[in-house]
């Protein structure tokens, strides 16, 4: 006999409701490797704002938890089935509703994939700048819910800077519009910014008005370099900033990561690149410069890299540039080839990057594990990776992650630069925020979601957790 709430859903929007076991199983995970203790009671593949409102009205009346979910590519367990929940899948709401060239904006449904929007915009000479590495598979609703970052943030900003307005379904089913179709607008508090990065805990994003940019003119110039060690790489990255240069991309791979990438790509894969002759402690830096002054800027970047002892390749043709960027892109597949990967996401002020790299090595030694790390060196965001075998993150990996989060915060940084808190990191949230901020944030949550049905367990401990397999919540 079906759950009473499922019957209500079926009566209201039957065709969009699924209880097929395979579908219920699929939404227990995202790409973090985290798995919820139980499947949801139903998955609703919402096709319209009205259907989202119908779901929230039923959830409100029956006090049923709702987990908004986009493409399921999250890395913090922010959109996985919580106990007794409806998973509200928004991936079918994937229409680009409007592109205004004159106002340089697009109005999109939340399920539009980041890459699909950019494909649709390219012929108009426009571009949606937020560029998470997952852009081919991640949805704009999810990008906004996590305030996604990516490779281009030091130059082009985080997702928040590209969101002009939102339409959101509130916990009780009301539709709320916020923000503007203009770059400026200061009427009242900035709810659009508040919802950006709120991880589905304040409302369900059903439409976004996003800011577009003219595609940066000219060719992109790529500079790839192998450096003697991680200190040299961090120093070279710092030298770029000190010279007031502003490459669009500046990525750093440490020695442990680079060795795995080189092994993964093989001799053919690295032929003709600076990885061809790789010594054990060597590290990798990749810069891409764009815009009218790209060639001069890239030449200067290459000179600074060389001064730090690098073997440098500078490429002005797109194909070689793509191949060099492919070295960075190979990092995750290279790690995934050897086990499960827990990708962490700390950020520190750029000036503290050398210390953070040293701390990561130290933490790895202390816990007897290798922690291959890639960093967006331009903005201080590091992804230390924990590779393990089996379904569960082992306790010593959590212990190492705990050390790492605390080190990042002690260095003036943050436990998550761009992936979000989700269920994975909520136990550290109050530590970073402090008690006063934590309580005010809970007050905001209670204001928008008084009965606590929106994504319970994400960011904050669920009011009553029956999810025994989850990590101990704070």
Footprint of its own copies on 268-327 (CB under 8 A): 291-293, 296
Give the Cβ contact number of residue 188 at 10 Å: 7
Nearest C-alpha neighbor of 247 from the set 202, 309, 299: 299
Work out which of 249, 343, 359, 429 binds its own copies, going by CB under 8 A: 429
Minimum CB separation of residue 411 from its own copies in Å reads 9
In this structure, what DSSP letter does residue 379 have?
Answer: T
Give the CA dihedral 182, 187, 189, 192, nearest 10 degrees. Answer: -20
373 contacts its own copies (rule: CB under 8 A): no
Let me know: does 200 contact 291? Beta carbons within 8 Å.
no
123 contacts its own copies (rule: CB under 8 A): no
User: What Å distances lie between residue 230 and 106, 237, 326, CA to CA?
Assistant: 41, 10, 20
Minimum CB separation of residue 436 from its own copies in Å reads 5
Work out which of 36, 118, 143, 196 binds its own copies, going by CB under 8 A: 196
Minimum CB separation of residue 262 from its own copies in Å reads 28
Work out which of 24, 56, 327, 347 binds its own copies, going by CB under 8 A: 347
User: What Å distances lie between residue 253 and 50, 97, 193, 224, 256, CA to CA?
Assistant: 46, 39, 32, 11, 8
Q: How many Å apart are CA 367 and CA 397, to the nearest integer?
A: 8
413 contacts its own copies (rule: CB under 8 A): yes
Work out which of 23, 29, 104, 370 binds its own copies, going by CB under 8 A: 104
Nearest C-alpha neighbor of 166 from the set 49, 283, 38: 49
Minimum CB separation of residue 463 from its own copies in Å reads 18
459 contacts its own copies (rule: CB under 8 A): yes
Footprint on residues 209-228 left by its own copies (CB under 8 A): 214-215, 217-218
176 contacts its own copies (rule: CB under 8 A): yes
241 contacts its own copies (rule: CB under 8 A): yes
Minimum CB separation of residue 318 from its own copies in Å reads 20
Q: Among the candidate windows 43-51, 55-63, 348-356, 388-396, which touches its own copies by CB under 8 A?
A: 348-356
Helix (H) or strand (E) holding 270: helix 255-270
Q: Which residues contact 239 (CB under 8 A, 6 or more apart)?
A: 304, 307, 308
Let me know: does 203 contact 454? Beta carbons within 8 Å.
yes
**Residue 189 or residue 319: which is nearer to its own copies going by CB?**
189
Q: Among the candidate windows 128-136, 238-246, 308-316, 384-392, which touches its own copies by CB under 8 A?
A: 238-246
Footprint on residues 379-398 left by its own copies (CB under 8 A): 379-381
Helix (H) or strand (E) holding 311: strand 311-315
Give the CA dihedral 364, 391, 337, 384, nearest 10 degrees. Answer: -30
Minimum CB separation of residue 294 from its own copies in Å reads 8
Q: Among the candidate windows 25-33, 111-119, 278-286, 375-383, which touches its own copies by CB under 8 A?
A: 375-383
Q: Are strands 249-253 and 373-376 parallel, antiparallel or unpaired?
A: antiparallel
Minimum CB separation of residue 271 from its own copies in Å reads 34
Minimum CB separation of residue 42 from its own copies in Å reads 28
Minimum CB separation of residue 336 from its own copies in Å reads 24
Q: How many Å apart are CA 353 and CA 224, to the nearest integer?
A: 19
231 contacts its own copies (rule: CB under 8 A): no
Which token pair is 334?
Answer: 């290279």
Minimum CB separation of residue 1 from its own copies in Å reads 38
Work out which of 365, 444, 463, 466 binds its own copies, going by CB under 8 A: 444
Residues in contact with its own copies, counted by CB under 8 A, come to a total of: 88
349 contacts its own copies (rule: CB under 8 A): yes
Q: How many Å apart are CA 445 and CA 459, to the nearest integer?
A: 10
Q: How many Å apart are CA 222 and CA 278, to the nearest integer?
A: 20
Footprint on residues 26-45 left by its own copies (CB under 8 A): none
Let me know: does 44 contact 87? Beta carbons within 8 Å.
yes
The three-class DSSP label of residue 99 is strand
238 contacts its own copies (rule: CB under 8 A): yes
Q: Among the candidate windows 17-25, 328-336, 365-373, 434-442, which touches its own copies by CB under 8 A?
A: 434-442
Minimum CB separation of residue 197 from its own copies in Å reads 5
Q: Among the candidate windows 65-73, 132-140, 257-265, 419-427, which touches its own copies by CB under 8 A?
A: 419-427
Work out which of 111, 149, 372, 457 binds its own copies, going by CB under 8 A: 149
153 contacts its own copies (rule: CB under 8 A): yes
Q: Which residues contact 253 (CB under 8 A, 6 or more apart)?
A: 261, 283, 284, 327, 328, 331, 373, 374, 375
Work out which of 268, 391, 395, 436 binds its own copies, going by CB under 8 A: 436
């Amino acid at each position: 006999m079906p759950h009473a709430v499922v019957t209500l859903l079926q009566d209201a929007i039957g065709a969009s409701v699924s209880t097929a076991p395979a579908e219920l199983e699929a939404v227990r995970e995202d790409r973090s490797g985290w798995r919820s203790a139980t499947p949801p009671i139903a998955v609703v593949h919402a096709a319209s704002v009205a259907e989202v409102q119908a779901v929230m009205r039923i959830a409100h009346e029956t006090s049923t938890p709702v987990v908004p979910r986009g493409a399921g590519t999250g890395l913090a367990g922010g959109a996985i089935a919580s106990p007794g929940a409806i998973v509200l899948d928004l991936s079918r709401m994937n229409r680009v509703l409007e592109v205004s060239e004159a106002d340089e904006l697009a109005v999109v449904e939340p399920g539009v994939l980041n890459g699909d929007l950019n494909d649709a915009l390219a012929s108009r000479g426009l571009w949606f700048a937020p560029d998470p590495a997952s852009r081919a598979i991640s949805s704009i609703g999810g990008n906004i819910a996590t305030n996604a970052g990516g490779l281009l943030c030091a130059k082009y900003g985080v997702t928040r800077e590209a969101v002009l307005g939102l339409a959101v379904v509130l916990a009780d089913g009301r539709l709320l519009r916020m923000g503007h179709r203009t770059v400026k607008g200061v009427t009242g508090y900035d709810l659009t910014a508040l919802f950006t990065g709120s991880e589905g805990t304040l409302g369900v994003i059903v439409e976004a008005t996003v800011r577009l940019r003219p595609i940066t003119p000219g060719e992109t110039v790529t500079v790839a370099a192998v450096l003697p060690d991680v200190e040299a790489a961090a120093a070279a990255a710092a030298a770029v900033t000190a010279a007031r240069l502003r490459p669009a991309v500046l990525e750093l791979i440490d020695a442990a990561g680079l060795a795995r990438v080189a092994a993964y790509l093989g001799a053919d894969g690295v032929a003709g690149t600076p990885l061809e002759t790789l010594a054990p402690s060597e590290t990798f830096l990749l810069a891409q410069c764009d815009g009218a002054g790209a060639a001069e800027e890239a030449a200067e970047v290459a000179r600074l890299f060389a001064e730090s002892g690098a073997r440098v390749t500078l490429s002005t043709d797109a194909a070689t540039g793509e191949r060099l960027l492919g070295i960075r892109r190979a990092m995750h597949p290279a790690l995934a080839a050897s086990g499960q990967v827990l990708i962490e996401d700390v950020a520190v002020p750029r000036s503290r990057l050398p210390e953070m790299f040293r701390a990561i090595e130290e933490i790895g030694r202390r816990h007897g594990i290798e922690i291959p790390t890639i960093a967006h060196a331009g903005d201080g965001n590091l992804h230390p990776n924990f590779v393990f075998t089996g379904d569960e993150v082992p306790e010593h990996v959590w212990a190492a992650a705990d050390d790492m989060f605390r080190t990042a915060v002690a260095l003036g940084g943050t436990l998550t630069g761009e992936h979000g808190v989700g269920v994975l990191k909520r136990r550290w949230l109050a530590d970073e925020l402090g008690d006063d901020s934590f309580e005010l944030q809970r007050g905001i949550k209670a204001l928008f979601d008084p009965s606590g049905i929106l994504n319970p367990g994400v960011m904050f401990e669920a009011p009553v957790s029956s999810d025994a397999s989850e990590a101990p919540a704070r």
